[in-house]
Structure 1
């Protein structure tokens, strides 16, 4: 049965990858996953926001990709050692820190694809999602263990969000596609609402017509990351993908919206 997360909106779905930071915004210091980046992606026409979450020292779930502050703020400390207040102060001139609770509350009509980035964040993030809007969130993670922990916490707190395959689940899907086994495909896709994959992983071609057929036959959407060229976006949509995850919301909207 189609999850409410996918019940509305046009296709192909355009996901603003960590929001949207234009060249001019980057020159002004705006960081990915910031309040300004999320607002900019929505302003540019993104249908959904792809973001990531980490847990601060005082237990607040924040939208942040890396486990340390090094790449974003030039600070080697781990997020888990910094309080929400201090992190908010550090992000004040970088577009503004967003907690997960703020994101779901301040952007009430927006659907979020939230990736669990650490072991400690999965349960508190899941509980927030379950309480504040499971119909508006797709939970993902490279780790299927963290993804399932977040889903369990969400379900206990109020409802099951949509979910996309982690690394292990994706490998099972690819193996089942390669073996052309309907029973293996049924098992591999069970419990999934989306498959979020790159076109290639190193030398291995991940996306294929057979994978698309198998996913769609089982009501699972296929979203491709991270695509930043308009020509490739159009080619992927012609192939049949359901969504494009992109750093360039502006290009995606120009290329894919009539």
Structure 2
């Protein structure tokens, strides 16, 4: 679907995680969605085989690019985002597994408020947006389809986050470009570069929000490179205190409870209408 954001998947060397990510992406994303698999010389022979097989059968409009030599994940992703111009882009970690409806709901969330610069879905390993408990890593959901339906019933409050989180984030193209893109000079990890970008977006008046109706699973949280957090602290002296305050007071507690309640009480999926025509 050409009206949906572009999905960018920066590839890692974890072939098994990539295989699971691409399968979930295929199952949970509308046919025809534009997908860019961006390889900073990370995928090995098995990873390339996974990509080749997936490209041959997917219903998504997928492209794959590979640099001959790695330039680092932040520099590479900044290059990819720059090539997307003013288009809105959903950056999806290659070790994540998006649940059905994830992209449409994030796009709807962003379209509802022109001041939103980034929107992040729930995740079982999402730090500030972790579910069912803030700041904890829970096992990936057993019944992703049921959880996706429960999330779809959440009210659209779009609460503010201290920063976007790297398991999956939809970035508004115009906001990203105005903020100057990613800082590949200061940070080595997407984890830290995304925090920095989020804080620059907030400084320019854009909002970093939670999309309560979308969920993207992941086995582990992202991690910063050596020195990244120290550089963040120098540039943004109040960042660590702001994050700690958010985690301690958990302003999303009621939303977490509501999602848990919906998951417990959600009924079976509606029968497929075309079977009864």
Shorter-chain TM band: under 0.3
TM-score, normalised on structure 1?
A: 0.26
